[in-house]
Amino acid sequence: EVQLVESGGGLVQPGGSLRLSCAASGFSFSDASMSWVRQAPGKGLEWVGRINSETDGGTTDYAAPMKGRFTISRDDSKNTLYLQMNSLRAEDTAVYFCARTHTWWLRSVGQHYYMDVWGKGTTVTVSS
Amino acid sequence: QSVLTQPPSASGTPGQRVTISCSGSSSNIGSNTVNWYQQLPGTAPKLLIHSNNQRPSGVPDRLSGSKSGTSASLAISGLQSEDEADYYCAAWDDSLNGPVFGGGTKLTVL
């Protein structure tokens, strides 16, 4: 069964740090690009960032509000994705989802970017 | 405020056909493909449509996606009670260098 399981969420004070993990199973994790997406309470979905497979350079991209504060990494030997979050703010309070990502570009239709397998999410609360 | 614009709500009766719209710009929908996700209360999003109109395995063919210019739409025919959920459109944005989502549409089955 293809599965993603997030962990590491919790309550953290403003300015603090937290590392989330996402354990993958049932598919070739090392070949996959992976994304983090978050959802603040009662709000919509917001992309956090992504990491490509090592075959595709292992490069990372981040949404503007997260640049410089969040770092995405992966350990293919452990089939695990990570999200290191520093300098946390109240507005970072959200459920954080990891998702398997498919991304490629074709001249005829442009950029494809979609997430087909999602974890159930882990809750991060930033509050004093 | 979301980059892609969706109506906040939609409704229909069982068996009806409903359409949810998604409006963007030349930097996102106008240049790239559109995806649709369904989110039931308290659960993770589920991919319904990718690449404008492609259904992943297991998604019924009463759901369909289309795109024209800088707008896209999701159609659900033969509406069922289990379709009651939030629906999000998404597309890559060339200016922001990342995917953007609509604000979501809450579908109610009356």
Q: Do A109 and B32 touch (CB under 8 A)?
A: yes
pLDDT tens column, B8-20: 999 999 999 999 9
Question: Which residues fall within 8 angstroms of residue B104, CB to CB, at 6 or more apart?
Answer: A44, A45, B6, B8, B39, B86, B87, B88
Q: Which two tokens stand for residue A90?
A: 């109240």
> Which residues on A lie below 8 Å from B88 (Cβ)?
44-45
Predicted local distance difference test score (pLDDT) of residue A106? 86
Confidence (pLDDT) at A2: 97
Tell whether the model's pLDDT for residue B64 goes beyond 90.
yes
Is A114 in contact with B51 (Cβ distance < 8 A)?
yes
The rounded distance, in Å, linking the Cα atoms of B43 and A45 is 13
Residue in this structure with the two tokens 């452990």, named with its chain if needed: A78
Residue B7 tokens read as 């109506």
Of B93, B90, B84, B82, residue with least CA distance to B47? B90
pLDDT, tens only, B70-88? 999 999 999 999 999 999 9
Q: Are A39 and A97 in contact (CB under 8 A)?
A: yes
pLDDT score of A104 more than 90: no
CB–CB of A97 and B45 under 8 A?
yes
How large a percentage of chain A has pLDDT more than 70?
A: 100
* A/B interface, count of CB pairs below 8 Å: 76
Which pLDDT belongs to residue A108?
87
- C-alpha distance from residue A35 to each of A20, A72, B65, B101 (Å): 13, 9, 23, 14
Assign B99 to helix, strand or coil: strand
- Is it the case that residue A118 has pLDDT exceeding 90? yes
Q: Which residues contact B26 (CB under 8 A, 6 or more apart)?
A: B70
Q: Is residue B40 predicted with pLDDT exceeding 90?
A: yes
Instruction: Give the separation between CA B105 and CA B110, rounded to whole angstroms.
Output: 15
Which of A38, A61, A114, A122 to mutate to test binding with chain B, by most B CBs within 10 Å of its CB? A114
Residue B31's pLDDT is 96
Beta strands in chain B (DSSP E): 9-12, 18-23, 34-39, 46-49, 63-68, 71-76, 85-93, 98-101, 105-109
What's the rounded Cα separation, in Å, for the pair A99 and B91? 16
Does residue B45 have a pLDDT over 90?
Answer: yes
Nearest residue of A to residue B104 by CA position? A44
Instruction: Report the percentage of chain A scoring pLDDT > 90.
Output: 93
B24 CB within 8 Å of a chain A CB: no
Looking at the complex, does the CB of residue B7 fall below 8 Å from at least one CB of chain A? Answer: no
The average pLDDT across A19-47 equals: 98
pLDDT mean across residues, chain A: 97
Residue A119 has pLDDT above 90, yes or no: yes
- Using one digit for the tens of pLDDT, what is the confidence trace for A57-103? 999 999 999 999 999 999 999 999 999 999 999 999 999 999 999 99
